[in-house]
Structure 1
Amino acid sequence: MRLRTLTFVTLLFVAAIVPATGAATAGAASMQTDSCTFPYTATDATGTEVTLDSDPERVVTLNPSAAQTMWELGASDEVVGVSKYATYLDGADEKQNVSGANGPSVERVLDANPDVVLVPNSTYAFAKDRVDQIRAQGTTVFVFETGSSLSFVANKTEQIGRLTGNCEAGRQSAQEIRNSADLMREVLADEDKPVALNYFYTYTSGSNTFIGDVMTTAGLTNGAAEANITGFAPINTETVVEMNPEYIIVPTGATVPDTEAWNSTTAVQEGNIIEVNSNYLQQPAPRSVDAAETIMQAVHPEAFEEYQSMKAEAEATTTESTETTTQTTTAQSTTTQAVNDTTTSAQTATGADTPGFGVALTLVSMLAAALLATRR
């Protein structure tokens, strides 16, 4: 075993004195790209190249989805302004209310003195002039794309983490969204997918909507999409009757019309009206997963239990893996410190300026590390 160790260390020694190749340079470049450093530049949904010179300390969110994301990242303390629709978040009532009449207030946003303003596409769509005024004052503004899936929600979460300097939290939260969605689809792969309709105040969610994706991820068939409805659009009673949904999904506070047409549907007759927290169902943010879980539990209770069990097992495995990595890192740090202490002693006794000392010292350090490794 010791002979093999020494041979391996010799190879490492040879590699250490060979000049770095292009591959090593590429690796360093990749690490730099993935690092959470500033300045950082990204192009937003308007095609504007947005640059943040430093890690933002003051963030304004013009829509509750961006605010919810900041809360989920554990960065609510960085938020100084929210819309009036974000008051459901703990502590949001202590932030500056930047809402005005029929949209964001330019004056209130500017008074909050933000380092960056996060603007979901729905806000930009009906308040473009106000957002442009905020940007014209020299305030950094980032506008997001329109949400169309849980995958979009995960990517947006990661992007907000990067923009606000909460990179690791953003990556972790995004991965949790992806993992949950993948696991739901896996558990529900062989289950029947009953037809369902999302309804809120004469509107429904068709194809290319994140609510539609929440529904299908939870084990339903989106009837509106099957009826060739795209995006968020009105739905008429004739379509409802023809579709005859088995389930109707509504946000809290919304109701199903008490009419002959709606009452004729299987969903109403069997009492399959699923009410989902509107702050989770209608906002393309991390808690969309909670909305999908609510629907899945109501429609596929047995599969939901399996999903919960598998999710808990996966989280436990992840936690165990993280703890193992931490222990390994700590052990490596201890070994490195021991080698460094030996190196310092050798430098003192021999003199670091002696020709060839650096190469010899590298070999000694590697041998010391290898010998420590063989004793574990």
Structure 2
Amino acid sequence: MRRSTLTLVTLLLVVAAPLAGATTVGAASAQADSCTFPYSATDATGTEVTVDSDPERVVTLSPSAAQTMWELGASDEVVGVSQYAAYLDGADEKANVSGGGGPSVERVLAANPDLVLVPNSTYGFARDRVEQIRAQGVPVFVFGAGTSLSFVADKTEQIGRLTGNCEAGRESAAEIRTSVDQMREVLADEEKPVGLNYFYGYTSGANTFIGDVMTTGGLRNGAAEANITGFAQVNTETVVEMNPEYVVVPSGASVPSTAAWNSTTAVQEGNVVAVNENYLQQPAPRSVDAAETIMQAVHPEAFEEYRAMQTQSNATATAAETEMATTTGDAPETTAQATTTVAVDDTPAASQTATGTSTPGFGVLLTFVSLLATALLATRR
């Protein structure tokens, strides 16, 4: 996402099953304004997690949490990442806390963290290791399973609050929500074709954030309409019966070259949309970029209207910022406005294996799939 000034307008205008227990992603709002410590919140395991002081050393056990920290402009606070966060600029300078079959307890503790951020999937298959870290007195916050872009916005705000980056978290979350609202607005009267997300034999059904990314980008989620819930296998009979008009795949993946798949409208018309897997498969701020990629491929005219709407929003934000600076007597900072090019990244990231700390977006299910499938720039806010 490259909408750094867009937030000001908003502020001015005023596969694993989900973990048991209350998830308070978004609960940061109650204490967000003060952004003081100690700060306490209940995570997805039902554990009340208390962070005594503003964390200076954060370990992220998932690339989505790492991506969020990068988007908040707080990468310097991250001291440990999973191996799947390698795509982030500067991640190679952080400690790799991945180990065999999950996170390495020793590597995490060696990083001397003030806070550890844990995805639902890692906790699902490496609960004992996560609890070992927690037993050492380290604050550990476990997130629930993402089901929507709204969840992503709430999670972003929560990470900002937990790490003392409250304003950046609120602004990033506001950008996500505004972009989603704008996409839905320009697509309101558009006919939505049937789409199918496909990755190595699996799909994203109802109650998945990838499904929400697809519908936000202007597709119907064929898997959800076929009564598929969560991340699940999809058979060829269902594919033929569904006859998707578009197939969305993560970069580096493809649809099978079989008679069944070749009979679909999507394949016959060349409507296979490859999306950067680090954006499509991670419930983090750049998932909005994934929705934009889909929207540009499926609804190019609406996409241009969306871009024009963003340009207008940015212009309004710049004018408001200038007026505010004039009122306060401060000269406004000049922010370079990069041209947004929604393109796909055809370079696949490292294959997911059971040695990783996380399987972005798919939980334990995809960890298993990865074992079978061995063939398997955004501006910082």
The two structures have a TM-score, normalised by structure 1, of 0.79
Match runs of 1:82-93 below 5 Å: 82-93=81-92
Query: CA shift at 1:184, angstroms?
Result: 0.2
Structure 1 residues 112-135: Cα deviation after superposition (integer angstroms, max 9, x where no partner): 000000011121111111111110
Structure 1 residues 166-205: Cα deviation after superposition (integer angstroms, max 9, x where no partner): 0000000000000000000000000010000000011100
| Structure 2 contact 148–213 (Cα < 8 Å) conserved | yes
Query: CA shift at 1:325, angstroms?
Result: 2.5
Match runs of 1:97-246 below 5 Å: 97-246=96-245
Report percent identity of matched pairs.
79
CA distance in 2, matches of 1:182, 1:96: 38
Q: Secondary structure at the match of 1:245?
A: coil
Relative distance call for 1:32 and 1:212 in structure 2 (3 A) is closer
Relative distance call for 1:254 and 1:191 in structure 2 (3 A) is same
Which residue in the other structure is 2:327 paired with? 328
Question: Do residues 43 (structure 1) and 42 (structure 2) align?
Answer: yes
Which residue in the other structure is 1:250 paired with? 249
CA distance in 2, matches of 1:326, 1:210: 39
Relative distance call for 1:97 and 1:321 in structure 2 (3 A) is same
Q: Secondary structure at the match of 1:193?
A: coil
Query: CA shift at 1:317, angstroms?
Result: 1.0
| Structure 2 contact 250–281 (Cα < 8 Å) conserved | yes
Which amino acid in 1 is paired with 2:153? A
Query: CA shift at 1:327, angstroms?
Result: 3.0
Which amino acid in 2 is paired with 1:120? P
Which residue in the other structure is 1:339 paired with? none
The alignment's C-alpha RMSD in Å is 1.3
Query: CA shift at 1:33, angstroms?
Result: 6.0
Which residue in the other structure is 2:305 paired with? 306
Which residue in the other structure is 1:76 paired with? 75
Which residue in the other structure is 1:360 paired with? none
Query: CA shift at 1:329, angstroms?
Result: 3.4
Which amino acid in 1 is paired with 2:165? N
Relative distance call for 1:327 and 1:40 in structure 2 (3 A) is farther
Tell me whether 163-172 or 117-126 shows the greater mean CA deviation.
Answer: 117-126
Which amino acid in 1 is paired with 2:205? G
Which residue in the other structure is 2:283 paired with? 284
Q: Secondary structure at the match of 1:326?
A: helix
Which residue in the other structure is 2:366 paired with? none
Query: CA shift at 1:323, angstroms?
Result: 2.9
Which residue in the other structure is 1:6 paired with? none
CA distance in 2, matches of 1:234, 1:32: 41
Q: Secondary structure at the match of 1:148?
A: coil
Structure with bigger RCO (C-alpha 8 Å, 6+ apart): 2
Structure 1 residues 57-92: Cα deviation after superposition (integer angstroms, max 9, x where no partner): 000000000000000000000000000000000000
Which amino acid in 1 is paired with 2:289? D
Q: Secondary structure at the match of 2:196?
A: strand
Q: Secondary structure at the match of 2:192?
A: coil
CA distance in 2, matches of 1:150, 1:243: 25
Of the two, which has the highest radius of gyration?
A: 1
Which residue in the other structure is 1:371 paired with? none
CA distance in 1, matches of 2:240, 2:180: 31
CA distance in 2, matches of 1:267, 1:323: 48
Q: Secondary structure at the match of 2:49?
A: strand
User: Structure 1: which 5+ runs fail to align?
Assistant: 1-29, 332-376
Relative distance call for 1:51 and 1:220 in structure 2 (3 A) is same
Relative distance call for 1:249 and 1:32 in structure 2 (3 A) is closer
CA distance in 1, matches of 2:113, 2:325: 36
Relative distance call for 1:188 and 1:33 in structure 2 (3 A) is closer
Query: CA shift at 1:32, angstroms?
Result: 6.8
Tell me whether 111-120 or 33-42 shows the greater mean CA deviation.
Answer: 33-42
Q: Secondary structure at the match of 2:306?
A: helix
